[in-house]
Structure 1
Amino acid sequence: MKLSEIKNHLSKLDKIAFQLPNGELVPSHFHVTEVGKITKDFIDCGGVVRSETVINFQLWEANDYDHRLHPEKLVHIIELSDRIFKFDDLEIEVEYQGKETIGKYNLDFNGTNFLLTNKATACLALDACGIPEEKVTEESSCCSPSSGCC
């Protein structure tokens, strides 16, 4: 989900709910403790230099049961962050504390809830790293080797 999309959805909602991939809802007393821009510069296994930039939301829950984040407040936080960081209409990545470590999720919307969707690793240089095509499956890669996305 891109920044423009979440702002559009928030403008039509009375309350915000985030749903984990297992169907559970993030407790309603969550806070968005960070909104920022993360840039990752890296070299893939084929030697290609790459750069990715996402907008990052960090969800956090505490024992503060008396406060709820309302859509207009989140829009305000996003707009303040945008004035400072000059966001483009980038994809949003969400961090949320799991039982053992922080999980990173993509974001989607089902008309009611924001869906935290699983992220997956993939080889970005399949043609250069020597993995036989039959070893690459839809499960292990976000795209097929012949799709041109890598």
Structure 2
Amino acid sequence: MACDNKLKKEMFEELKKYISEIEEKNGALISVLHKGQEIFGYLPQEVQEFIAKEMNIPIAKVYGVVSFYHFFSMKPKGKHPISVCMGTACYVRGAEKVLNSVKNYLGIDVGETTEDGLFSIDALRCVGACGLAPVVLIGKDVYGKEEVKDMKKILEKYRKEASK
């Protein structure tokens, strides 16, 4: 437990350093939230309160931004976050079937994380890659069209990597 607290303290110190190096804090909230999520993996209440204090802004403003933008998460995400685009082009080309196959294979729903912490699922409005529709993002990896027909095979690749 002491190791976890030490790590957490270092994470807060890293975020504090990042915030302190911003010359004009007015308008920098989104970049600070991105950095916080990069460091902690998500933005729990404790991190939001820290950011509000360090930036001298109301916690309600921080929470408002975190809860408004889909790319911020208040829950821990899996090591490999899966985002299925549900925009019009993707939806018309079978995104719902792809999403259902991922949910069924992993045994979780949108917004949930697998018990082993490897995967979490989100449904996005549009990722801006309509030519590849339907599109699935796993972390920073982009899969489209033909690849997403066999999501089980793709997900097994990530499971094998994690077991090494």
Whether the TM-score (by the shorter chain) exceeds 0.5 is: no
Which structure has the higher relative contact order (CA within 8 Å, separation 6+)? Answer: 1
TM band (smaller chain)? under 0.3
Q: Select the structure that is richer in strand.
A: 1
TM-score (norm 1): 0.26
